[in-house]
Amino acid sequence: MVVYLALVPTILYITLFWVIPILHVFIVSLTYRDSFIMGAPRFVGFTNYARVFSEYVRCIENSIKLPLAAAIVDLILGYPLAYILARRKVLFHNVLRASLIFPYFGDLYVSYGLWNMFLPGGIFDFVYKLLGVSYRQVLYTPYAVIAGFSIFTLPFMVLYVSSSLQEIDPTIEEAALTLGATPIKAFFKVIFPLTLHGAIAGFLACFGWNLGGYLIPLLLGGMRAGDVMTVKIVHLALHVHDYGVAAALSVILISMTILITFMTFKVTGMLR
């Protein structure tokens, strides 16, 4: 019984600093502009949601499309990497493993570094000259945002895929090879189906993390391509002081995130 008593401070803390604030996002979304924090709250019903669905549909669309594209890129780029890392020791094995921790430091550097690289004077100057394009045809487009997103979340994909690869007995692959399958056939018929749940979990995790990315779309996407929900929420809440609409967008964002998180847990078997 004493053991459960020890949990009380934790539960109290989580209730006060996570559950109540998140529930308050919903309450704030029903109030007019910043009336919730300045003076008496003025409840206006669901008009903020009506505004969201009439004015900010495009940024919700962008918020889904860009992370989805980034998750696909991650799957293509990260799956072979996880396979290489999980199977055998390779050149730079430890350097590679250690460098996977880089994006975990935050999107501050990924976005700032990539932004500097894409600008004139960066290392892509010769590519621009070679292809005869201006930097504006690369930098403030969805492709730049997708590049930033996919670099930021590559480690999550590698993590999920390699953990599901480690569960497989290596003899299964050897058996397939001895029984006459070509390496490519052995991979697609044996290894890939067995790691499918890891790949799906990684895909969902990448998507979920990128939903919350803020500086990457802001710096790399500019006003048009980087018009996603997080950027809109910060702009509305901190610059326009329209907390009502910002909270309405936040409710949509957090429900999407929680849904995806639980889907990830379901796929990885955390909820069984």
Q: Interface residues for another protein in 51-70 (CB under 8 A)? A: none
Write out the two tokens for 120: 């004139």
Contact 161, 199 (CB under 8 A): yes
How near is the Cβ of 113 to another protein at its closest, in Å?
A: 3
Looking up tokens 């919903």 gives 26
Task: Write out the binding residues for another protein, residues 2-21 only, by CB under 8 A.
Answer: 2-4, 6-7, 9-10, 13-14, 17-18, 20-21
Q: Does 102 bind another protein (CB under 8 A)?
A: yes
Task: Write out the binding residues for another protein, residues 113-132 only, by CB under 8 A.
Answer: 113-117, 119, 121-123
Q: Does 214 bind another protein (CB under 8 A)?
A: yes
DSSP state of 133: -
The rounded Cα 12 to chain-centroid distance in angstroms is 29
Contact 70, 154 (CB under 8 A): no
With 0-12 / 13-18 / 19 or more C-beta atoms within 10 angstroms meaning exposed / middle / buried, residue 234 is: middle
Member of 30, 59, 71, 100 binding another protein (CB under 8 A) = 100
Name the CA radius of gyration of the chain, rounded.
23
What is the end-to-end Cα distance of the chain in Å, rounded?
26
How near is the Cβ of 175 to another protein at its closest, in Å?
A: 21
Member of 64, 75, 191, 254 binding another protein (CB under 8 A) = 254
| Part in contact with another protein (CB under 8 A); list of ranges 54-62, 130-138, 195-203, 238-246 | 238-246
| Part in contact with another protein (CB under 8 A); list of ranges 64-72, 169-177, 195-203, 240-248 | 240-248
Alpha carbons 206 and 151: distance in angstroms, whole number: 10
Q: Does 109 bind another protein (CB under 8 A)?
A: yes
